[in-house]
Chain A
Amino acid sequence: MGPYLTRRILLAIPTVLGVLIAVFLLIRLVPGDVVTQLVGLEASISPKRVEELRRLFGLNRSLPVQFGEYLSGVLRGEMGKSLRTGLPVGKELLRRFPVTIQLASMGLLAALLIGVPVGIMAAVRRGRAPDYVATGFVLLGLSVPSFWLAILLILFFALRLGWFPPGAYVSPAEDLTGNLARMILPAFSVGLVLAAAITRIVRSSLLEVLSRHYIRTARAKGLRESIVVIKHALRNALIPVVTVVGLQFGTLLGGTVIIEQIFSLPGIGRYALEGINLRDYPVIQGAVLAIAMSFVIVNLLVDLAYGFLDPRIRYE
């Protein structure tokens, strides 16, 4: 286990470095920089002034110089400062990550609570009404765009029924119930797609396991069906589920941009989006680095979870 972990962590270093270089170059290939975005339609800024601003932002220096400076900062644990607000990127990331983690976790929880039971039901009642309902749900869940669902949820639950307050984010430290009330709709918006994916994988994986010989044996020795399904079949069916859930959770940690935007959540996705819109290089670099690192960590955790589920899997 120990050597395995060390090897995985060492392998993560070139991955992260690759991401750093790719992001650094890619965002500079995109036309425009912070100055063009800043200028907008402002009346009083002339082309001459634009050049001057570019110099003030240090954007006229060569790329290797800029990258060297950035890399040495990252190695010292400094992510730089936002070109627009002057706020340190590292500190901002630490403030925003909890919001995204909460959204991703609540979304995942919602997805598991829906996806696993529906998937089991579909597999056990294969070819009958519950199965068709579940398959319909999968089709719907995977096809509905989450941003559209989010707007519908707001209009119906927040505006029509008034169950949840629309509008600004409240941190759990300020007001825990208020925070939870505001997070339910966003969590459901991201969770529904994931729930559909989980339903599908639970169903197919469970069907496969249920056709195995040891299940026939278990039934033959007179065990109740519920024990057969939950205790004997489900655990073995969970390995592909964990893979999917793990990858999806990684995606949620970086990919909830639209949901964060619609629900005004100050998470990492919105931070990255704001950075991209303003061509705020340090912000984009920092956000992508954080997202890449969380993906690497989640992947590692998923690999470790296999051993927990199936003791035959060994790490060396």
Chain B
Amino acid sequence: MRRGLISAVVAMLLLLTGQQITDAQGGPRYGGTLRAGMQTDPVGLDPHLSTATATRNMMENVFDTLVMVSSEGRYAPGLAESWTVSADGITWTFALRRNVKFHNGRPMTAADVVYSINRIRDPSTKSPRAPDFAEVDAISSPGPYTVVIKLKRPLSPLLAKLSLSLNVIVPKEIIERDGDLNANPVGTGPFRFVGYTPQQRLTLVRSGDYWEHDQNGRRLPYLDRIEFVFLPDAVARATALRGGSVDWIEYVPAAEVKSLQADRNIEVVGGLSANFRALYINNSRAPFNNVKVRQAMAYAINKKEIVDTALFGAGGIVATGAVIPPGNYFAVTRSPYNSVDVDRAKRLLAEAGHPNGFEADLYVTSTYDFLRTPAEIIQAQLGRVGIRLRITAADWSVYLPTMFQKQYSLSILGTSGQSDPDDFLYGNFHTSGGLNLVNYSDPAFDRLIDQGRAVVGDAQRKRIYEQAQQRLLETVPMVFLYHSTQYEAVRRNVRGFEHWPNTSYLGLRRTWMAP
């Protein structure tokens, strides 16, 4: 007891001195080169012409967006200092930040914003992001620092589209000279592009006159230079970090997380990631067109067991709510299916006319382990209530077209890369959603989602989207299983890097190197 007390005191003292040491160091320091080990090359350097996460992640610190999104998914000023929206939700007015310069020295004005959004919208640009602005009627600049976006109908997720770091503000003159930004990505961001040699290195250096400051009024960013090097093999990437030839790596595989955490020179960051993985149910096929059958499946499935065994624990976070991951401002975090209830599942099946269960096909892809390995566990879990699954697996290139044609009964799938609740809810579940692969159609849900688009203001939207998620839990268009994790790992001297659940590396803007 006494010894316990002493060690507690010692521990507290250590904590206190530890605190003092950091204080004495005086917080973030300027300078240093961050060598970042990346999994893949960017797919082109022009953000408007790419859908690749790699392009977004390496270029998002070269460019800026009009609106920014915080790590917990809320909107914050970017190149626009503030914005207002008309009462009917149609006209959005953005007041731009002054004294922002492109890396070629030219000041950024409202004309650049108008040009950039119109470039994405223009069919001849072939931008994969054009659908983001399909609801935009017109965009204009009544003054040098004012931008007005007129919509065809109210759409509050406009902010999500504007904050997506591929929808960035670009200078017209470079595109007019070069045709695109692939050779000279010039932006207004904290880092200036220096050079790129495919499969070797992409280098950024600190831009001297970036506009953003930290909470103490010091100019961002802290780093002098970022060197992205390409290390496609996951083991090689982890080894390079251990050996100290890089300071930061992305995509730490779930199997490596534990061993890296054990290394005292290394810190593993992250986990939470904006996506969902679910048991997709074809709602229009019998017997799944009966809501009781779907509810029975939700009660029978043990989500934790799936994460612990199929994903080694580290590969996923159990879906405790519906489609939006926990930690997101708009997420619902309670669900009736968080504890397994086999009796209730059996009762529901009996009520639905299947007292002895039934046979069904589970069609999965063999390309992604995290979508393949839960299959047998789900088979065993549903077997306990009499649902006998036959599993077939196919390569992604065969699987995806089959899913798009909705030629399946059950599958394991999900989508990634969302930032706004509307991204999670509209496409996947609205009757007219482009990715509604489960044939879900619920007028009450559709009304809520339409309403959510027409309302501005986080608190109000949160209320509506909570109701919509509740509706999903009642009607079970799919069984939400887990959210895939994503980890970065850094050497201990890399400080201040924050993981963003939407897998963005905006955290590099505030990263610094301790001596």
Contacts and interface: CB of A to CB of B under 8 A. Distances in A.
Interface of A: 30-33, 36-50, 53, 56, 84-87, 92, 95-96, 151, 154-155, 158-159, 162, 165-169, 171, 261-264, 266, 270-271, 274, 279
A168 B131 contact: no
A266 B236 contact: no
A38 B51 contact: yes
A37 B397 CA distance: 7
A39 B37 CA distance: 24
Interface stretch (B237-245, B286-294, B346-354): B237-245
Given A166-B243, A168-B230, A86 B198 contact: no
B232 A43 contact: no
A99 to B, nearest CB: 9
30 contacts: A30-B397, A32-B396, A36-B396, A37-B397, A39-B51, A41-B415, A42-B417, A43-B416, A43-B418, A44-B427, A45-B128, A45-B434, A47-B404, A47-B434, A49-B131, A50-B404, A56-B126, A85-B182, A92-B198, A96-B199, A155-B239, A159-B243, A165-B245, A166-B240, A166-B243, A167-B37, A167-B240, A168-B37, A169-B199, A169-B200
B109 to A, nearest CB: 29
B100 interface: no
Contact of A44 (B231, B400, B417): B417
B450 interface: no
Contacts of A33: 397
A166 B236 contact: yes
A32 B126 CA distance: 21
A271 B199 contact: yes
B135 interface: no
Contacts of A96: 199
Contact of A42 (B51, B233, B397): B51
A44 B243 contact: no
B114 interface: no
A264 B401 contact: no
A96 B401 CA distance: 34
B414 interface: yes
B51 A85 contact: no
A44 B164 CA distance: 12
Contacts of B231: 167-168, 264
Contact of B200 (A44, A48, A159, A168): A168
Contact of B395 (A32, A39, A49, A84): A32
Given A46-B427, A84-B43, A270 B182 contact: no
B418 A270 contact: no
B44 A270 contact: no
B417 A43 contact: yes
Nearest to B230: A264
B245 A45 contact: no
A165 B246 CA distance: 10
Contact of A159 (B201, B242, B415, B423): B242
B306 interface: no
B41 to A, nearest CB: 8
Contacts of B235: 151, 154, 262
Given A85-B43, A167-B246, 15 more contacts: A32-B400, A38-B51, A43-B418, A43-B435, A49-B131, A84-B43, A154-B235, A159-B243, A166-B243, A167-B231, A168-B201, A264-B199, A264-B229, A264-B232, A266-B198
A270 B232 CA distance: 10
Interface string B137-154: 000000000000000000
B51 A168 contact: no
Contacts of B243: 158-159, 162, 165-167
Contacts of B182: 85-86
B316 to A, nearest CB: 14
Contacts of B242: 159
B91 interface: no
B236 A262 contact: yes
B240 A168 contact: yes
B398 interface: yes
Contacts of A84: 43-44
A315 B398 CA distance: 52
Contact of B236 (A36, A162, A264): A264
A248 to B, nearest CB: 24
B65 interface: no
B305 interface: no
Contacts of A151: 235
Contacts of B128: 45, 49, 53
Contacts of B395: 31-32
B132 interface: yes
Nearest to B368: A41
Interface in B407-424: 414-418, 423-424
B207 interface: no
Given A53-B128, A85-B43, A166 B239 contact: yes
A32 B245 contact: no
A182 B421 CA distance: 47
Top 9 A-B residue pairs of the complex, sorted by shortest distance between their CB atoms = A32-B397, A46-B434, A266-B199, A168-B229, A167-B240, A167-B245, A43-B415, A31-B397, A47-B404
B275 interface: yes
